[in-house]
């Protein structure tokens, strides 16, 4: 019963955040045609410019509509993620998605399509802070093989936004999804929020 309550709370939070990010006028925007989220989230309701770390979560949440075109790591927006790190159509894109979000928020780094490279020793973090990157270790691959962004955390549960996943939480999914993951399923966190601007 408590898991259901947590899920419903996270779902409500996601809907509320998405409504705030997109706003009523944004719901009709042609998001797949060169849509630039920065023009929407640079300022808060009072007109004050948001600091870069505060831009990460709204940018990531605004991508929850993205789905692959044919289920083969393709489609206009997915290919934009891949292009941000010089990868080609069809390549896995969880790390490319993370890099794309940071780029849209005005960061120079990270710029990688390889999930393990998001976790150098100098960037490792101990906590699930919103805007941090998380990594999941796959024993069969003997490495971090999936990653995404931390949106929030409560108790033992971490809310994330991830590319190249699905409702089941796999690493070869069909789009960008919000997930609720137990902290024990996550091997590493890294903090790229203090990077030099591009």
What DSSP string runs through 111-122?
--S-GGGG--GG
Asked whether residue 41 is assigned to any structural domain, the reply reads yes
What domain range includes position 93?
2-190
Considering only 32-41, 74-83, 133-142, which range has the smallest mean pLDDT? Answer: 32-41
172 — pLDDT class (breaks 50, 70, 90) = confident
Asked whether residue 197 is assigned to any structural domain, the reply reads no
Mean pLDDT calculated for residue range 178-185: 96
Directed axis angle between helix 52-61 and helix 2-26, to 10°? 100
Structure token pair of residue 84: 């941000």
**Mean pLDDT score of the chain:** 82
Kindly give, in sequence order, each residue whose CB lies less than 8 Å from that of residue 121, ignoring residues fewer than 6 positions away. none
Give the Cβ contact number of residue 155 at 10 Å: 9
Kindly give, in sequence order, each residue whose CB lies less than 8 Å from that of residue 193, ignoring residues fewer than 6 positions away. 52, 53, 56, 131, 132
pLDDT at 53: 78
Please report, for the domain that includes residue 100, its CATH number: 3.90.1720
- pTM above threshold 0.85: no
Asked whether residue 75 is assigned to any structural domain, the reply reads yes
Asked whether residue 198 is assigned to any structural domain, the reply reads no
State the total domains in the chain.
1
């Amino acid at each position: 019963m408590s898991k259901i309550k947590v899920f419903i709370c996270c779902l409500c939070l996601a809907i509320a955040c998405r409504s705030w990010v997109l706003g009523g006028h944004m719901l009709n925007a042609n998001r797949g045609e060169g849509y630039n989220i920065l023009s929407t989230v640079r300022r808060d309701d009072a007109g004050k410019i948001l600091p870069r770390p505060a831009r990460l979560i709204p940018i990531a949440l605004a991508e929850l509509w993205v789905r692959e075109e044919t289920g083969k790591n393709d489609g206009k927006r997915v290919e934009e993620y891949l292009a941000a790190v010089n990868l080609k159509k069809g390549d896995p894109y969880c790390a490319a998605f993370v890099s794309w979000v940071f780029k849209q928020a005005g960061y120079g780094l990270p710029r990688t399509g390889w999930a393990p490279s998001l976790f150098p020793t100098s960037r490792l973090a101990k906590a699930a802070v919103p805007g941090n990157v998380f990594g999941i270790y796959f024993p069969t691959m003997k490495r971090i093989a999936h990653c995404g962004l931390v949106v929030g955390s409560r108790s033992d549960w971490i809310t994330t936004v991830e590319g190249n996943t699905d409702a089941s939480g796999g690493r070869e999914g069909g789009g960008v999804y919000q997930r609720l993951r137990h902290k024990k399923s996550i091997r590493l966190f890294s903090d790229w929020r203090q990077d030099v601007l591009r």
